[in-house]
Structure 1
Amino acid sequence: MDFLTDVAQYGAFHFQLTLFRYVLAASVMSICAGWLFRAWMNRRRIQKRRANWGDIRREVSYSMLTICIFTLFGITINLLHEMGIAKLYWQWSDYPMWWNIVSLPLVILLHDAYFYWTHRAMHHPKVFKHFHRLHHISRTPTPWTAYSFSVGEIFINGLFSPLIALTIPLHSSIWLSFLFVMIFRNAMLHTGREFHPRSWVDGPLDHMTTTTHHDLHHQRFQGNYGFYFTWWDRLMGTEFKDYKEVFRQAVDGKLHGDPQPEVGGIAQNPTGNRGEKITA
């Protein structure tokens, strides 16, 4: 009974935390793009398509499934920790301060590599429809697309957490920070408006992806697989060659369609993008 009680408590905690992170990140990005900076963001639209309420409902419903399965991974990490296998720790003094400082950037680098290669693998024609097709139904992504995955993709994405917990010692606050960085980054990349300044792709920050970088992936499928950084795409030759030009056009307001009335930060479109055929 004590074991079941612990599992229930862990499950309630991780479900609430994962739901909170998803709703917070998607809401913040939607409010910024559709209300606080509406005029500026509308000018920086990347696609002429407009997501509709049907798209939002689909994305949220599949995201709830993702949250439930991610909860199972959270429970697993807690149980592994109780068994003395997981390497999460709670006292800063358990490891040198230099490790506490570099561990967050290290996890982000590892996650970027993991994401690139698993993401690219899911685009293989033999597995695309089974793992990644559902996410790409959102041809015009919104912040709510962030967790819109099929069951197979949920497990592939979620597997990163226990793998890291088993191999790298991390303070619980560092791990929590990483989870928030990941979901906010995810929601931003799916916002459909370009947040970054025009000079972004002409300096050292060009090594970090932008909303345009990921939006082009949703439009064209085969390319721009990176999450945080552009390194892997450029090393492997999978970055779209016109990415920087499209980015500049988005920043300059040359890609957006005619202004339309919006509801809740998402422009309405009677045609939408539902029913479009998605192929690998």
Structure 2
Amino acid sequence: MEFLWEMAQSWAEHFQRDLFRYLLAATAVSLSVSWLFRGWMNRRRLQKRRATWRDVRREVGFSMLTLGVFATIGIVTETLRDWGLVQIYWQWTDYPLWWNLASLPVVILLHDAYFYWVHRGMHHPKLFRHFHRVHHLSRTPTPWAAYSFSVGEGFLMAIFSPLILMLLPLHLLIWLSFIFVMIFRNAMLHAGCEFHPRGWVDGPLDFMTTTTHHDLHHQRFRGNYGFYFTWWDRWMGTEFKNYKVMFRQAVDGEFSDETAPAKVQAAT
């Protein structure tokens, strides 16, 4: 009984930490869209339809389920650490300076590749209904959809953590930085309004995804699978052909036209 009580306490601690990060990111992005930059964001909306409170309640409900999955995988990761299989370290001097500087970009690059292929795989007709359908109930997503997954998708998203921590040695602060980058990026991609400046898709940072990039995925389902970067979509021919046109229309406020989303061409 004492062992079970300790496991329950550990699970609750993991759940609370993940809940804090989810609430922090979703609340910050939601307030930016609906209050802090409301006028600017309203002119940059990506769809004429607006999410309802029913949509938000569904997204929060499934996100709570996902957080339960994350907490469970957190216990697994903790157990692997106790067995010496997870390579988290606390002293910067444990590894060379170059690795401390490079490790965060490396983890983000690996996560982007993992996300692209797992995400694309979940769109296979035999897998979609069982894994990814829940997330796509958010046809007009909000920041609260960041973790709106089925149990299966939540598991696939969560197991990246123990896998990468078994593969690479990471400082605790680097790992926490990655977790915060991931959830804030996730909330922004589901914001429903374009944050990036108009010249973004014509400049040197075009390799980074935008809210438009991911919102088009929610509108059209098959295409624009990337998370942080556009590389995999472009290499694999799965980026919507007129993504940049749609991005410019979004920042110019042209999505008030009901027909705008229908102009999106299917990915090849």
Equivalent residue for 2:131?
A: 131
TM-score, normalising length: structure 2: 0.93
Corresponding residue for residue 89 of structure 1: 89
| Distance in 2 between residues matched to 1:10 and 1:89, nearest whole Å | 20
| Aligned residues of 1:112 and 1:227 also touching (Cα < 8 A) | yes
1-structure distance, mates of 2:37, 2:257: 17
Q: How far off its partner does 1:73 sit?
A: 1.1
Q: Which runs of 4+ in 1 moved over 4 A?
A: 1-6
Partner of 1:79: 79
- In the TM superposition, residue 75 of structure 1 has moved relative to its aligned partner by 1.1
Mapping of 1:79-228 within 5 angstroms? 79-228=79-228
Does the 8 A contact of 1:45 with 1:257 survive in 2?
A: no
Counterpart position of 2:256 = 256
Deviations 1:169-206 (A, max 9, x none): 00111111111000000000000000000010001100
What's the CA shift string for 1:96-116, capped at 9, x where partnerless?
Answer: 111111100100000000000
- Deviation of 1:256 (Å): 3.0
Looking at structure 2, the residues matched to 6 and 96 of structure 1 have their Cα atoms a distance apart, in angstroms, of 36
Q: Distance in 2 between matches of 1:128 and 1:74?
A: 25
What TM-score comes out, normalization by structure 1 length? 0.90
> Residue by residue, what CA displacement relative to the aligned partner does 1:52-79 show, whole Å, maximum 9, x if unpaired?
0100111000000000110011111111
**1:40 CA displacement:** 0.3
User: In the aligned structure 2, how far is the partner of 1:216 from the partner of 1:88?
Assistant: 37
- 1:28 paired residue number: 28
Q: Residues of 2 paired with 1:88 and 1:3: CA distance?
A: 24
Contact 1:47 1:140 in 2 (8 A): yes
Partner in structure 1 of residue 65 of structure 2 = 65
2:239 & 2:131 partners in 1: Cα distance? 22
Measured after TM superposition, the shift of residue 5 of structure 1 is 5.5
1:195 is matched by which residue type in structure 2?
A: F
CA distance in 2, matches of 1:12, 1:145: 22
> Which residue of the partner structure matches residue 13 of structure 2?
13
Check conservation: 1:47, 1:256, Cα contact below 8 A: yes
SS of residue in 2 equivalent to 1:133: coil
Deviation at residue 2 of structure 1 after TM alignment = 6.6
- Residue 13 of structure 1 deviates from its aligned partner by 2.4
**One-letter amino acid matched to 1:98:** W
Counterpart position of 2:45: 45
Measure the CA separation in 1 of the matches of 2:232 and 2:200. Answer: 18
Kindly provide the CA deviation profile for residues 201-255 of structure 1, in whole angstroms up to 9, marking residues without a partner as x: 0011000000000000000000000000000000000000010000000001111
Three-state SS of the structure 2 residue aligned to 1:100 is: helix
Displacement of 1:8 in angstroms is: 3.7
Q: Distance in 2 between matches of 1:179 and 1:149?
A: 17
Q: Deviations over 1:244-280 (max 9, x none)?
A: 000000001111369xxxxxxxxxxxxxxxxxxxxxx
**Any idea what SS the aligned residue of 1:193 has?**
coil
1-side partners of 2:86 and 2:161: how far apart? 10
Q: Distance in 1 between matches of 2:135 and 2:229?
A: 20
Does residue 229 of structure 1 match 2:239? no
After TM superposition, give the deviation of residue 12 of structure 1 in Å: 2.8
Segments of 5+ residues of structure 2 without an aligned counterpart are 259-268
Given residue 180 of structure 1, which amino acid in structure 2 is its aligned partner? Answer: F
Aligned-pair distance for 1:10? 2.9
CA distance in 2, matches of 1:257, 1:5: 56
Other-structure match for 2:263: none
Structure 2 Cα separation of the partners of residues 35 and 203 of structure 1: 29
Cα deviation 1:11-49 (Å, max 9, x = unaligned): 232111100010010000000000000000000000011
In structure 2, give the amino acid aligned to 1:20: F
| AA aligned opposite 1:160 | F
